[in-house]
Structure 1
Amino acid sequence: MAPPETKLILCPINLRHAELDYSEYEEAVAMAKRRGARLILMTVSPEFERNLNIRDVDGYWKEEMAKFLKSHPAEGVELETVVRKGSTHREIVRLAKERKVDVIVMKSANPKVQDYLLGTTASHVVAYAPCSVYVVRSYPHT
């Protein structure tokens, strides 16, 4: 029996930590190229933004996503961006169900958390996602 075809990949990224690497995004782009799949790049903003100087939260994160893509282009991949508001792990699973995603490619944890294999977001997504989840291990930079 052949494995199911991958047509749509979801890659959630955290744009709040510019100093972190985006190895999950790089892996998702490479996977999309290899499999001829489309890619959804998403970010999730909290319900209540901590920085009270942001007046248009949705516009702000859409702009941040555009900046990210300008500096990290996904050449040769059909890409869509999504900005959601709410609980990160719930929004990832919700979008995967809504769009019938084939694979989620995400980071395992904040690199500063060394004592756990998976962070709480990745653990929830692995447990509740309706599809395969490819977890890219995050290592602290030394």
Structure 2
Amino acid sequence: MPGTVKTILCPVNLRHAADTTGAYATALAEAAMHDADLWVVTVAPEMERNLNIYDSEKYWGQKLREFLAANPPGAVRVQTRVLKGAAHRQIVKFALKSDIDLIVMSSANPRISDYLLGTTASHVVSHAPCSVYVVREPD
């Protein structure tokens, strides 16, 4: 990768957290190798499917803390954030705003995984201001 990697972004879909640990493990390895800071983010939808969730930022923030507790980052410096909106747009927007050097994310679409990147990963690859490392998660 050209340049120095100081800040890495790893978006995690907490609705499918068990299926995105490969990207998270890769992000941890890259952060350790480059002595980089790691942002682990999740994107909450504008409107929750379950209307009983009144404070989605608090709810998804707790789920993100649970994910990190189940998958400890070791010595890697980790910061977290809950973003709100369309995942593909929010990931790119956060990368631009936070001066991210590398995005490590998963791509999986069980219906067409043998043919295409997932739509979120495809958008991020096309629009990100930095390198994107796409980890294919097993179906």
TM-score of the alignment, normalized to the shorter chain, above 0.5: yes
Q: After TM superposition, list the pairs within 5 Å mapping 1:45-124 onto structure 2.
A: 45-124=44-123
Amino acid at match of 1:105: V
The TM-score normalised by the length of structure 2 is 0.94
Q: Which digits, 9 at most, give the CA deviation of each residue in 1:1-54, with x for residues without a partner?
A: x93010000000100124424100000001100110000000001100001121
Q: Which protein is richer in helix relative to its size?
A: 2
Q: Which digits, 9 at most, give the CA deviation of each residue in 1:79-104, with x for residues without a partner?
A: 00010110000000000000110000
Amino acid at match of 1:102: D
Amino acid at match of 2:43: V
Q: Which digits, 9 at most, give the CA deviation of each residue in 1:97-138, with x for residues without a partner?
A: 001100000002234542433011001000000000000012
2:10 is matched with: 11
What stretches of structure 2 of length at least 5 have no aligned partner? none
Tell me how many residue pairs correspond in the alignment. 139
Percent identity, please: 52
The TM-score normalised by the length of structure 1 is 0.92
1:33 is matched with: 32
Distance of 1:77 and 1:135 partners within structure 2 = 20
